[in-house]
Amino acid sequence: MFVLYVLLDWLTTGIQNGKYILAGVFCLVSIFATCSCLHNEQPFLLKALWQEKNYRRRLEKKMQIKARELQDINEELKCLALNDELTGLYNRRGFFTLAQHQMKLAQREQKDILVIFADIDDMKKINDSFGHKEGDRAMKSMAAILKETFRTSDIVARIGGDEFAILSLQTSWDNAEILMDRLQTKVRSFNEKKLLPYTLAVSLGIALYPCDYRCTVEEMLQNADEMMYASKRNKRKTGTIG
């Protein structure tokens, strides 16, 4: 607008001096016509600018929502990659991933490592007699009992089928036996509630390693597994497992 005012002043001066009469008249008419159009279209221009601003604001808001949704999906996928869908515990991958980290921590901070292998007794009989839906209930129930028994800092996982594994740091043999007794006590208390049409039972095996003992997670788990199966065989001999 400032340029138009300057041009208008220049042309007016030229016309007053007798110069550029025809050109001046034509330019003045054009300038006034342009100004008139701009004045008449000003509300439409302002409205268009306001609409564009609102559109950008809505678009930015949608992009923020999509970004949050994508982040939630990524977190969910990450969780599914390490967690067992049925029980909510860590799965086999989650157990080995976290156990390897805990082993390094144990060696660095001079802490002993305890591994417990747990296997539900008579799982095949439960599935055959009551169906796989009841078998799933048995595993969910055992998962809940394990969560109640062990600390939140311990790694509790369902590593496959009816098999569970627990890794705990800085636990002595005495504490390990206390933990196993506590777990069996909680299983008995659960059965007393008669929430299931069968008795829930579990066989346990443990392996305790000093902080300076060099071994893999697989080796620790295998040794605990062998002890668990020895316990299960002993139950069969004594008739405490069918």
Domains of the chain, by residue range, sit at: 2-79, 92-238
DSSP alpha helices (H): ranges in the chain? 2-16, 21-82, 92-109, 123-130, 132-149, 173-192, 217-238
Tens digit of each residue's pLDDT, the chain (242 residues): 444 444 445 445 554 554 444 444 444 445 555 555 545 555 556 666 667 777 778 877 777 776 676 566 556 545 558 999 999 999 999 999 999 888 888 878 888 889 999 999 999 999 999 999 999 999 999 999 999 999 988 999 999 999 999 998 877 777 888 889 999 999 999 999 999 999 999 999 998 887 666 778 888 899 899 999 888 888 776 666 54
pTM: 0.67
3-state secondary structure 59-121: HHHHHHHHHHHHHHHHHHHHHHHHECCCCCCECHHHHHHHHHHHHHHHHHHCCCEEEEEEEEC
According to CATH, the superfamily of the domain at 92-238 is Reverse transcriptase/Diguanylate cyclase domain (3.30.70.270)
Q: Chain centroid to CA 225: how far? A: 29
* 156, amino acid identity: V
Write down the pLDDT at residue 9: 52
Evaluated on CA atoms 140, 146, 151, 153, the torsion sign reads negative
Query: Which of 167, 176, 144, 161 lies closest to 96, judged by CA?
Result: 167
Bridge partners (DSSP) of residue 117 are 165, 205
